[in-house]
Structure 1
Amino acid sequence: MGQRTGVRRGAVAVLLAVVTAGCGVSGPGLDDGSDPAEGAGHSALAVKIDNVGAARPQTGLDAADIVYAEQVEGGLSRLMAVYATELPEAVGPVRSARESDLELLRQFDEPTLAFSGAQGRLLPVIDGAPVRAEAPKDAPDAYYRDAGRRAPHNLYVRPGRLLDSAPGEDVLTTGFRYGPAPGGGTPRNSYTVRYPSAGFTFTWSGERKRWLVSMDGAPTVTTDGERVAAATVVVQYVEVRQSAYQDFRGSNTPYSETVGAGKARVLRDGREYEVNWQRPVASGGTEFTTAAGGPMNFAEGQVWVVLAPA
């Protein structure tokens, strides 16, 4: 991927649909002649991915350009994988959207969002957002259920039936900069981020020149046996507050504030950098700068952004 320095502002539109167990039955390799949605292919694809133990190993996670990790109900975690330069055959398990996703996704220029559903009171908010999204009700041929897994951890999406092609790196309008590492930094072999009921550990591999990802104490491996590894890891410290929504058990849904400013730690090339982040408006990207005020360049390759409580 080439260096991406610009921030493109655009509104994100999200539609919402509730998934039923009967949605799709065929596997990802079958072609029924269906076409991607008209106009698809010119935006990034964001997929909400289940991240509890029953959902692992996940599918297609290693092909993402960016993986966001956020705290959800009960102190657990959920992922949102963003695809632009490669569309894997399948991604999942797919799960529901959250209110904070709408704010996070606005830094992209009209992304497509694949997700399974959301809290009922959130539906009007999502329906009113100027976004393009594809839930199973809207694109049933793009989704299928794996009979070998138990619901709700068995819903998968075929990205090639939502986008006509990989749109390319230009749609990654996050404000991230890629290039040579800045001076300084501290040697680091591993780094762990903990939520109340979940944890992420990133371990530097000099052989692969990547940070090997582990979740909840176990190596993160996809269903095809690929060990997930990031070129850059961003631990972005944000305000995590209560939202106005709850899950079906009555647990409050956390809201991670990604507009504003704060501290972060960036891991690249076996070193840790203490940096600042800034995103003044929701329609803009997030800039990361060193303590000296210069740009914090990321290494080329997959980026993980863990939204951690400040």
Structure 2
Amino acid sequence: MRKVLFLVVIMVFIFIAGCKNEGDVGKDNEKDDDKNAAYALTGLSADGATDNRMVAVMVNNHPKARPQTGLSQADIVFEMLAEGNITRFLALYQSELPDVIGPVRSAREYYFDLAQGYNAIYVHHGAADFINQKIKDKGIDHLNGSLYDNDGNLFKRETFRKAPHNSYLQTDAIYEIAEDKGYDVTATYESLPFLETDAEIAGSPAPKVTVSYANNSNEMIQYIFKEDSGTYKRYNGEQQTVEMDTEEPIEINNVFIIEASHQVIDQEGRRAIDLESGGEAYLLQNGVMQEIQWENRAGRIIPVKNNKEVPFVPGKTWINVIPQQPGLQDIVTISSD
């Protein structure tokens, strides 16, 4: 009897120890999952949670708004024509969120459609009445600076610039106000496709690329590859794109230039841009250019070739959307000097 009781005690002890070990393994796996987590838009490792919801901000690119604040920390920046020959940015933030972003400008439909496609909270300052109605009809989760103009909490008007080039987003208030409006402030994201470390890229040399949105040389966009950093630096004409306060240059790992149909829709010169149909594209990485295509897959702009996704280099990405007419060959120049 004593032997039986002793065997039962031993078996219970082994069972408990096994359960404990399984629990420890589960905890270790959780730690490993955290350690291996990466941000969806950059592919770079994350120190903690990656479920903070993306924020998409309309950033002014008028000459009087340069240099801007907070662009260097955006995971992806879309650059598109707003009206006339001046571009405007949609900056997507998740892996980093600077304290201040701006100047912030008004909404356009193709920008907030992109923000919705990436499941981001869309932040802008002002909009035409018909645009406000479309934002409402489409159920866009948005924060409009016109409702918080210079409130000192979400938006601040700076004195060193004149309106409409002086409205700056104060990011500490974003999630609190978004939550008050009933918006989700966390989300789960599928990662973009990314290259393995040190993977080779096949293509043509592209150390210097010029994107001519206008005949005005001051509005030509240049990307110049730097061997030492493995990144592209961006210029508006002769002016390097830097952070206003620190003069830190924008460093870009992927420059993705895509053709899309553009149409002027009103007397103000506002446009409609087709970001659904796909088309021809150039992808610049590590000083090399690939001629590929782009597709809108589940709301995100993805490089593809032979119907397969072409991976990004882990890091920051800028996406230049140019008019399909005249197209890539006329608007984009690749040079070796």
Q: TM-score, normalised by structure 2?
A: 0.72
- Name the counterpart of 2:132: 123
**2:312 is matched by which residue type in structure 1?**
F
**SS of corresponding position for 2:57:** strand
Give the CA deviation at 1:88: 0.3
CA–CA separation in structure 2 for the residues paired with 1:177 and 1:123? 34
1:107: which partner in 2? 117
Q: Tell whether 2:256 aligns with 1:234.
A: yes
Q: Which has the higher contact order (CA 8 A, sep 6+)?
A: 1
Structure 2: distance between partners of 1:170 and 1:275: 29
1:3-152 correspondence runs (5 A)? 4=40, 42-109=52-119, 111-139=120-148, 140=151, 141-152=153-164
| Pairs within 5 Å for 1:267-306 | 267-279=284-296, 283-290=298-305, 292-306=306-320
- Is 2:231 the counterpart of 1:210? yes
Cα distance in structure 2, aligned partners of 1:214 and 1:169: 34
Root-mean-square deviation (CA, aligned residues, Å) is 2.4
Distance 2:225 2:187 in 1: 25
Q: What is the CA-CA distance between 1:74 and the residue it aligns to?
A: 1.1
Specify the SS of the correspondent of 2:300: coil
Q: Give the distance between the partners of 2:255 and 2:201, measured in 1 at CA.
A: 17
Q: Which 5+ residue runs of structure 1 have no aligned equivalent?
A: 6-40
2:195 and 2:252 mapped to 1: Cα distance?
15
Query: Comparing both structures, which one devotes a greater share of its residues to helix?
Result: 2
**Structure 2: which 5+ runs fail to align?**
1-36, 42-50, 179-184, 325-337
Paired residues of 1:2 and 1:178 also in contact (CA < 8 A): no
Q: Say if 1:305 and 1:168 are closer, same or farther in 2 by CA, change over 3 A.
A: farther
Q: Report SS of the residue matched to 1:97.
A: coil
Measure, in 1, the Cα distance between the counterparts of 2:276 and 2:200: 25
Q: Which deviates more, 178-187 or 122-131?
A: 178-187
| Cα distance in structure 1, aligned partners of 2:164 and 2:254 | 31
Write the deviation string for residues 189-216 of structure 1: whole angstroms up to 9, x where unpaired: 1111111253211110011111001113
1:187 to partner: Cα distance: 1.2
Equivalent in the alignment of 1:262: 279
Shift of the alpha carbon at 1:57?
A: 0.8
Instruction: State the distance in 2 between where 1:3 and 1:92 align.
Output: 23
Q: Is the 8 A contact 1:182 1:296 kept in 2?
A: no
Deviation at 1:4, TM superposition (A): 4.4
Determine which structure has more spread, i.e. the larger CA radius of gyration.
2
Partner amino acid, structure 1, of 2:259: Y
Identical aligned residues as a percent = 24
Q: Does 1:179 align with 2:191?
A: no
1:169 Cα offset (Å): 9.6
Change in 2 beyond 3 A, CA 1:125/1:168? closer
**CA distance in 1 between partners of 2:277 and 2:40 (Å):** 21
SS in 2 for 1:153: coil
Whole-Å separation in 2 of the counterparts to 1:229 and 1:170:
27
Q: CA deviation at 1:170?
A: 5.0
Distance in 1, matches of 2:302 and 2:187, equals 17
**Whole-angstrom distance in 1 between the partners of 2:39 and 2:70:** 24
**Residue in 1 aligned with 2:46?**
none
**1:199 aligned to 2:208?**
no
Instruction: Mark the CA change 1:169 to 1:271 in structure 2 (over 3 Å): closer, same or farther.
Output: farther
Q: Which stretch shows the higher mean deviation, 127-136 or 152-161?
A: 127-136
Q: Does 1:307 align with 2:326?
A: no
- 8 Å CA contact 2:100–2:168 kept in 1: the answer is yes
